[in-house]
Amino acid sequence: MSKALEGVRVLDMTHVQSGSSCTQLLAWLGADVIKLEPPGRGDITRVQLRDLPDADSLYFAMLNCNKRSITLNLKCDEGKQVFSRLVQRSDVLVENFGPGVVDRLGFSWPHLQGLNAQLIYASIKGSNAGAYASVKAYEPVAQAMGGAMSTTGSEGGPPTVSGAQIGDSGSGVHLAAAILAALYQRLSTGRGQRVTVAMQEAVLNLCRVKLRDQQRLQHGPLAEYPGSPSGDEVPRSGNASGGGNPGWALRCAPGGPNDYVYVVVQPKSWAPLVDLIGRPELAGDSAWSTPEGRLDDLDAVFAMLEAWTSRHSKFEVMEYLLAADVPCGPVLSTRELIEDQALSACGAVVSVPHPRRGAFKTIGNPLRLSDSETDIASPPLLGEHNDEVYAEAGYGKEDLMRLRRDGVI
């Protein structure tokens, strides 16, 4: 079976998470992703947060499956000549260096266009906006600048970073979408183009409902949040759903740190919900029988529901609520997720062999295509594919010996 991006060659200059998450998606979809790394040390994440002394870290391994690795010194003239040849043979070039780094190496967008008019040159940057444009955006910095931190956490508490990597991997997903759009447009134009994603804007896109609520504040309090907050800024709203129907994380037995289930109270589910918890009379109660009435007293509503959920495990609560057609989901810890048999069976979590560290678990491809299955392959060792990639680019054995001798690769 062919792959969706079979025949697409990606020259991957990315490092750390944001860019590498993008190129791993492309590799999962079948592109030939060639990760270009500095000789000797490679991507810094090979050693960051290392758990085994003689193996690449899980940080690197979980962001670089299905790729090939080559090494190249871009600070020497011959290294730049080799790079130029690789660019001429590539469909996509992806990088996430700081502002101006690639230009200072001598590879501005006009120069890259001159080397390959069909090249799609894709970059992740921190911001496009004014003074923010010079910021080196890391995950929490992007969350801070994109609206996520100011709206995450408990009322009265400090701004809080989300555990989901919406700045780094969120930007990677956005860039992958932009690259695919550029590849499709190239079919009709025959030309490549410059593609950029700013991490601030990617986070902002994921926070659009908070900007919705910012504008709603002009017309009254946010009734779906406990306490119906008003004021001139969207508050940190704890576990409020932020959607059209109120929701909250309710404690379950036996009371551990993740023994919670998230419950959404829809109008149609109110009667079966109160019947399930043994309070059927509330289905017709004048105070709480309507969504508007319940919004005025959400704290009391969720306290009543928690008195019931706290007597059952989160999985029992899920079973009962799903049978009653009440939207809910258990709060799953990282341990529960990595050990979950159902997630393994469907390919959401996979085990991948590695020549030095042994098998490790990682995330499966969340993009499911019926005619393009994904096999998650081991991440490459540093420079593992030098010989074959450079041979494909026209370098012979003597050339490779010389390039190694001179410290070019």
Asked if residue 5 has pLDDT above 80, the reply is yes
Q: Is 200 helix (H, G, I), strand (E, B) or coil?
A: helix
Q: At 23, which amino acid appears?
A: T
pTM above 0.85, yes or no: yes
What pLDDT is recorded for position 231? 86
386-391: long-range contacts, CB 8 A cutoff, minimum separation 24: 386/70, 386/71, 388/68, 389/34, 389/68, 389/70, 390/70, 390/82
Evaluate whether 161 touches 153 at the Cβ level (below 8 Å): no
Query: Which residues, 6+ apart, have CB-to-CB distance to 345 below 8 Å?
Result: none
Evaluate whether 142 touches 204 at the Cβ level (below 8 Å): no
275 an active-site residue? no
Specify the range with the lowest mean pLDDT, choosing from 288-297, 303-312, 333-342.
288-297
Percent of the chain with pLDDT over 90: 88
Instruction: Estimate the crossing angle of helix 199-206 against helix 168-189, to 10 degrees.
Output: 100
Cα 215 from Cα 220, distance rounded (Å): 10
Token readout for 346 is: 């469907």
Instruction: Specify the higher pLDDT residue, 260 or 227.
Output: 260
Q: 């890259």: which residue's tokens? A: 112
> What's the residue count for the chain?
409
DSSP 348: S
Complete edge-to-edge strand list for the sheet that includes strand 260-264: 247-251, 260-264, 328-330
DSSP 231: S
Model pLDDT for residues 89-144, shown as the tens digit of each residue: 999 999 999 889 999 999 999 999 999 999 999 999 999 999 999 888 899 999 99
Rounded to an integer, the average pLDDT of 40-56 is 94
Over its C-alpha atoms, the chain yields an Rg (Å, rounded) of 26
Q: Which of 62, 17, 140 is nearest to 338 (CA)?
A: 62
Query: Which member of 168, 285, 297, 406 is catalytic?
Result: 168
Model pLDDT for residues 91-102, shown as the tens digit of each residue: 999 999 988 999
Token readout for 257 is: 């740190």
Cα 36 from Cα 83, distance rounded (Å): 9
Name the band, by pLDDT with cuts 50, 70 and 90, for residue 48: very high
